Amino acid sequence: MYILRHPTGNKAALSIARAPGDGATQGKMEILSTAGTHGSVLRDGADCIVLHISEAPVTLLVSAFLENKNAPVPALRVDQIALERGPVPPSMRAAAGAALSTPAHAHAAPIAISPQGMTLIGHIERNGDVMAAPGAVLGDPDSLLRLEGFQVMWPDRPHGVDLAYSIAVEGGGVLPMVKSGKFCGTRNEARRIIEVSFALIGPAASQWRLEGTAYFSGGYQAPVHSAVPLSGPSGLEHLTAITLHAHPGQAAASEPNPWLESATTKVFKATAAQAEQVQSADRAEELAS
């Protein structure tokens, strides 16, 4: 769902219409608008059009009625409403006609990655994609909002070492491990990350130390150790935030996560004599009952 509004402080009226397109952009479009707009014209800040896009993307044609050719071109205000149930509706693409070009200031500012250290970029429910500078926390440890996916940017990564990471999502198991610069997780699928693993790899990995913290719902947190899976105490808590950095030094020995059960299952096989004793005991119990 999207809310279309008139730009503040601009007198030019904006006309909203479906643009011609192929079958890939012929999604279903339901319109709810304020009085006077007729679902197609925004004249001032009192006008508003709500669009529900489903089944496929929709391309819009936005035209501005300018007083003269030197008048500034207004930027249509578009706010997306993220719904809790299921994936967010398909993205809506706005196409400008010959009389309307998108102004430079309407584009989102690019994400600036620090040239040193590890920069974390993640997708947080309701907030979208966010960035954490080196040393900062990605997400909010005190919030229940899910950190649904992330990627680690390491521009000054030393030769011979790299960072590998993977996650486990509720109902989906462990996702394939990726290296620095790659996204791991989901977006707009309401899937909870219940386990995360980081590991320094490469011939020079032993010369570096990985540190950080993984935060899970319920106020739980686990220190990051290379190649150690991290989760909440029950294994059902979801990831809310992470912080991560690497620095030169002797790598710490891997430590088991006290919140997880042992990954090794011991199987004991009884001998024939032991099995016969167990069966006799079972028959005795049946006769006694």
Say whether pLDDT at 93 is over 70. no
197, 166 contact by CB (below 8 A):
yes
Distance CA 163, CA 151 (A): 11
Q: ∠220-224-225 over CA atoms, to 5°? A: 135
Q: How far apart are CA 270 and CA 213, in angstroms?
A: 44
Report whether pLDDT(220) > 90: yes
Decide if pLDDT at 92 tops 60: no
> Does position 46 have pLDDT exceeding 70, yes or no?
yes
Tokens at 283, concatenated:
């028959």
Q: Which amino acid belongs to residue 8?
A: T
Contact (Cβ atoms closer than 8 angstroms) between residue 97 and residue 62: yes
pTM: 0.52
Provide the pLDDT for residue 67. 72
pLDDT in tens, 164-203: 999 999 888 888 899 999 999 987 777 899 999 999 999 9
For residues 46 and 94, which has the higher predicted lDDT (pLDDT)?
46
Domain ranges of the chain: 2-103, 119-248
User: Residue 83's pLDDT is what?
Assistant: 58
**What's the average model confidence in pLDDT over 46-65?**
81
Q: What is the pLDDT of residue 62?
A: 81
Phi (first) and psi of residue 151, to 5 degrees: -140, 150
Mode of pairing for the β-strands spanning 173-174 and 162-169: antiparallel
What mean pLDDT comes out for the span 207-231? Answer: 93
Q: Which of 39-43, 167-171, 267-271, 277-281 has the lowest mean pLDDT?
A: 267-271
Rg (alpha carbons) of the chain, rounded to whole number: 28
Kindly give, in sequence order, each residue whose CB lies less than 8 Å from that of residue 265, ignoring residues fewer than 6 positions away. Answer: none
| Chain CA centroid to CA 253, Å | 31
